[in-house]
Chain A
Amino acid sequence: MSQPKIRIRGLKKAFGSKVVLDGVDLDVTQGTAMIVIGGSGTGKSVLIKSILGLVTPDSGVIEIDGEDVLKAPPKRARELRAQIGMLFQNGALFDSLPVWENVAFGLLAQRRIRRAAARAKAVDVLAQVGLDATVADLSPAELSGGMQKRVGLARAIASEPAIMFFDEPTTGLDPIMGAVIDGLIVDCVKRLGSTSIAITHDMASAQRIGDNAAMLYQGRVSWTGPAAELMTSPDPVVDQFTHGRAEGPIKMALRK
């Protein structure tokens, strides 16, 4: 098999005495979409923030294109990470900037576009996520949650990144909007040929956007397999999680 686009080995991270990641291993093949599932607070966001360099892991290996970003010199690590676009769990839109500047932000920062041309480009990208030009001059606070998710998506894909991360892209949306966003993600990823990691709690969504899936449990990846097998996997942890059973190996903290 060819070298994976992202390769993680033995990734560990603790906050104080609280161990969150305890030896995560994960491979994401070039051009595929990996779904990460797992209970609330198991460290899914910490995992992708580690890859992005927003959280510094305690130990382990994170390779992008075969290069360890944790060992690479800072400049090189930044270059490797610059190919990642990220949709944050809560949108994280810049509320001091209008929508179009949010969308064009990465392109402007990388000097790939002049300021005069940026608004037109942003309107283009907004159209790709089904938003029309009238929202371009609004402030993010004036948008509904679903629209904010779409603007966040537009911002993440505007620079056509080779790698994309989606942190719970459909959480808090109505089922139809969720399906629409999933469609947009699949569209964007397929069109750009990107490699992606998506975190989700939504099994329907997982099967729509994912090629492969990984279950994060007790600080490790306890199961990986094709996303299509999520609902039929005999693995007791996956089975309990995907079917939302109260009884099983996963003990929720509140019952301790």
Chain B
Amino acid sequence: MNKLLDLVALIGAVALGTVEFIGELGLFALSGLSHIFRPPYYPRLIGKAFMEIGYFSLPVVALTALFTGMVLALQSYTGFSRFGAESAIASVVVLSVTRELGPVLAGLMVSGRAGAAMAAELGTMRVTDQIDALSTLSTEPMKYLVAPRLLAATIALPLLVLLADILGVLGGYLVATQKLGFASGAYLLATFTNLKTEDVVSGLIKAAVFGFIIALMGCFNGYRSKGGAQGVGTATTAAVVSASILILALDYILTQVLFVRVR
């Protein structure tokens, strides 16, 4: 009987903890968002965050997209040739990349790079009192540290994904024409006749949401970290894991919202 009560108490505590956590995260996000729109603004910091999240992620996102496009062409060729439907390869590549793989893979890559770096930097600032020092120097830490990162990531991710779209298609094109014997003109024609604006736009919308999530989880975990070097390590891991899971879950939800009505 006592065991049972303990179990109920435990479940209650976990549920309460979860609700509290979601509440805190929500408040943090709202506060960060509101600081984006209220002065003073920090263009210098937004620029710096943009470089760190966007510019320095270029190589890793570019390579990921290129190889993804290449492997997609190769895989779908093996699959479709069994049905004699090789001609569908161009559309498979361009639609998968723009709608799905571009935003998700770029999101996961940037989360591992920039989200982790944010959590580590803010976490270190927290445990060394630098965040406290900001407020004693007439500076609101949410505005100075969090808002610029949220804004920069939300803008940078769609731009990265645009690049990923182009390189993904290029990767597919290279494999199709160089290895699988497709004619260059026919492949490109097939690529663009099946591509609608909304395919690209929906991918960019996803990217903006993922960018926001990456910065939010990086900042939130870093901002709340405690307990020295170990705490910073935990925060960094939590930032990457939570952002990755949220990206995959939101990807499903966004796909549902953006595409299902089309059918």
Interface 9-residue window, one of A24-32, A105-113, A223-231, A235-243: A105-113
CA distance A92 to B133 in the complex (A): 7
Contact B128 A105 (CB under 8 A): no
**In the complex the two chains form, is B135's CB within 8 Å of A92's CB?**
no
Interface string of B125-153 (1 = CB under 8 A from A): 10011101111111100000000000000
Instruction: Tell me what chain A mostly uses at the interface: helix, strand, loop, or mixed.
Output: loop
Q: Are B129 and A92 in contact (CB under 8 A)?
A: yes
| Complex: A106 Cα to B124 Cα, angstroms | 21
* Interface residue range, chain A: 20 to 34
Query: Nearest-CB distance from A234 to chain B (Å)?
Result: 37
Q: How many residues of B contact A (CB 8 A)?
A: 15
Complex alpha-carbon distance, A170 and B227, angstroms: 24
Q: Flag if B136 contacts A52 (CB, 8 Å).
A: yes
Interface residues in A53-90 by Cβ distance below 8 A to B read: 53-54, 81-82, 84-86, 88-90
Please indicate the chain B residues that have their CB under 8 angstroms from the CB of A92 in the complex.
Answer: 128-130, 132-133
Contact A54 B135 (CB under 8 A): yes
CB distance from B146 to the nearest CB of A (A): 15
Q: Cβ of A85 and Cβ of B130 under 8 Å apart? A: no
Contacts of A81 in B (CB 8 A): 136
Chain A residues near B139: list those with CB within 8 A: 105, 109
Cα–Cα distance between A155 and B138 once the two chains are bound (Å):
12
Q: Which residues of A contact B124 (CB under 8 A)?
A: 95
Bound CA span A111–B133, Å = 18
Query: Using a CB-CB cutoff of 8 Å, which residues 134-178 of chain B contact chain A?
Result: 134-139
Check: A201 CB closer than 8 A to any chain B CB: no
Cβ of A121 within 8 Å of any chain B Cβ, yes or no, is no
A53 pairs with B133, CB closer than 8 A: no
A88 touches B137 (CB 8 A): no
A90 touches B129 (CB 8 A): yes
Q: With A92-B128, A92-B130, A94-B130 as given contacts, are A84 and B136 in contact (CB-CB < 8 Å)? A: yes
Residues of B within 8 A of A96 (CB): 121
Not counting A49-B132, A88-B132, A95-B124, a sample of 20 additional A-B residue pairs whose C-beta atoms are within 8 angstroms of each other reads: A82-B138, A85-B136, A89-B129, A90-B129, A92-B128, A92-B130, A92-B132, A92-B133, A93-B130, A94-B125, A94-B133, A95-B130, A106-B137, A106-B138, A109-B137, A109-B138, A109-B139, A110-B138, A155-B137, A159-B137
Q: Using a CB–CB distance below 8 Å, which chain A residues touch chain B?
A: 49, 52-54, 81-82, 84-86, 88-90, 92-96, 105-106, 109-111, 155, 159
